[in-house]
Structure 1
Amino acid sequence: MEMRLFHQRELAQLIHDIEQNIETYRNGDFNFISEDETLSFALPDSVSIDLDMLQPILDYKAKDQSPANRAASDAKFSSILYKSITGLEPSIARDPRLWNYLSHTIFLNYVRNRYPIPQETEKAIKEIKAHFFCTDEKRSIERNNGVSRLWWMAYVVSRVDELGLDDALKAFLTKTDVRANIFERPTTSQNVNVLTGILKALHQSLSEDSILFERHIFREFMREINLWGGMILIGDLDQEDIDSKLLKIKDKVIKN
């Protein structure tokens, strides 16, 4: 299927109409969006999405489950979505009109099941804005929108060559606090070698005792990495040196 982006005027209208459309977000559909091509425009043919690969996401039904159970699918679905989209460059993936369109069309049922809409009107509007819509702010694109977050999480860890995508995502997404700490620190999310070392340490811990996933330990682990990164030029180090240092930091915070 081709990939499409909203025209800005149509997107603005949809945002304006959130309150009157709350029940549609809960139980209805926005079929008019995909049926009327004047509301959007297509990306080049080189960018496409494989609907057959997406079927597990499109069939997702977990609205009545706990937040933890709903989140348990994130690693699997992030991998599926990333692999199903061909030719999408990060520069295009930064455009919120793409994800706003997808959230209201083929992924509508997934988003409403992954992020159930509260009954109270003000809370419902807030949730809809956060998960069905997307702004050009990094937090909105990478963490909040129900669809874009899946692609961006996979993109971030796909740069780690020493772990397969599925293993990297499992380490990255096992705990929300782990993901947030990595995303919010430029030293780790932007430096591929440091990110590689962290994910390898997490992957190892996951196969052993999972102690690195304990909140206070991981936060101290990240704090020590940032302190170390502030003292040296990490970019000049080999992967082997970074891995060795991170293992020493891990042993230090666990012992303390």
Structure 2
Amino acid sequence: MKIYFMKQKALDSLQAEVADNLNKYQSSSFWMDEHFINQNMPKYYFDTGIEVADYQLISGGPETDFQNAKIVFEAFKNKLNPVQASDLRLWAYLAHVQHWEYMSHRWKIDIPDEEDDEGSEEGKKSPREKMIDRVKTRYFFGDSRGKAFVRQGIARLYWSAYLTYDDTNDNPYEYTEFFLSKQDIFSSITERSYARNKILTLATLKELKKHPELSRQDIRLFLAKLNQSGAITVLDFLNPEQAGQLCEKLMAEVIQIPYW
């Protein structure tokens, strides 16, 4: 299967016209080709020269995330360099074209999803404004740069697996499944500054999985402590052993904190 990127001009146009195209994002009918023909831009994508084995995503809800992450990662593993894997032109094309059917089922924009922002400003927005935000988040990189890769509908599948794939484990996807099956953990980790640090993310998940008894408050405290440790430790320079030791130390501190 050939892999295409959306042309930058087409991408810019789509991003600028989200509000105008909102009804199209609410429909399950594919509309990209006709849309760009009407804009005199029938060739709105280009061949990257990358080829992957044919694959098909599973339609459904959150219960499909783990299997789909494996499918996408297996297809693209060793095919993308870091620049390509960070390029919205790839993920926007896949979301709007290659995997439109999947996107229209998994991320219905008129239904609140489990990762909607819950801040006070979000609560003041109209239903239409919230739908526009969901399109920008799920089809583009509408979130902050750190979170965008794990919020965009197709990029999140690849990056969730990339960050958690452990080739030293008999089951290299053990922590991918754990990551995607625990919504509190997924949301809490991806909002942190170290979210794209594979070594630290993997060490964090390994430590959390050792402690299924933790409350949501405990988990958030542990992750907050890890984030704060970046003030005295250069987290990006930690090797797997050092990252594991840091996580063990911080977890010990969390477990020893009494409740009043």
| TM-score, reference length from structure 2 | 0.74
| Alignment correspondent of 1:6 | 6
* Aligned: 1:224 with 2:231: no
Identity %: 24
Determine whether 1:204 maps to 2:210: yes
Deviations 1:202-236 (A, max 9, x none): 3333xxxx223x32111221233345554456678
- Matched residue, 1:132: 139
CA shift, 1:96, in A, is: 0.8
The answer on whether the counterparts of 1:177 and 1:215 sit within 8 Å (CA) in structure 2 is yes
Q: TM-score w.r.t. structure 1 length?
A: 0.75
Alignment match, 1:114: 106
State the 1:105 CA deviation.
0.9
CA distance in 2, matches of 1:20, 1:233: 45
Q: Which residue of 2 aligns with 1:149?
A: 156
- AA in 2 matched with 1:253: V
Q: Which residue of 1 aligns with 2:121?
A: none
User: Partner of 1:79 in structure 2?
Assistant: 70
CA contact (8 A) 1:154 1:165 kept: no
Q: What letter corresponds to residue 41 of structure 1 in structure 2?
A: F
Find the residue that maps to 2:70 and give its secondary structure: helix
Residues 90-113 of structure 1 deviation map (CA, whole Å, 9 limit, x = unaligned): 211111111111111121111121
Call closer, same or farther: CA 1:197–1:105 in 2, change over 3 Å: same
Partner of 1:50, secondary structure, is coil
User: Which protein is richer in helix relative to its size?
Assistant: 1
Counterpart amino acid of 2:213? Answer: I
Once superposed, what is the RMSD of the aligned Cα atoms?
3.2
CA deviations over 1:132-169 (Å, ceiling 9, x no partner)? 223695246313211111111111223x4444432111
Label 1:198 to 1:28 Cα distance change in 2 as closer, same or farther (>3 A). same
Distance, in Å, in 2 between the alignment partners of 1:100 and 1:244 is 38
CA distance in 1 between counterparts of 2:239 and 2:18 reads 50
**Contact in 2 for aligned 1:74/1:173 (Cα 8 Å):** yes
SS of equivalent residue, structure 2 residue 30: coil
Equivalent residues of 1:4, 1:42 under 8 A apart? yes
**Who is 2:52 aligned against?**
49
**Unpaired stretches in structure 2, ≥5 consecutive residues:** 112-126
Distance 1:186 1:140 in 2: 9
The 3 A distance-change label for structure 1 pair 110 and 234 is closer
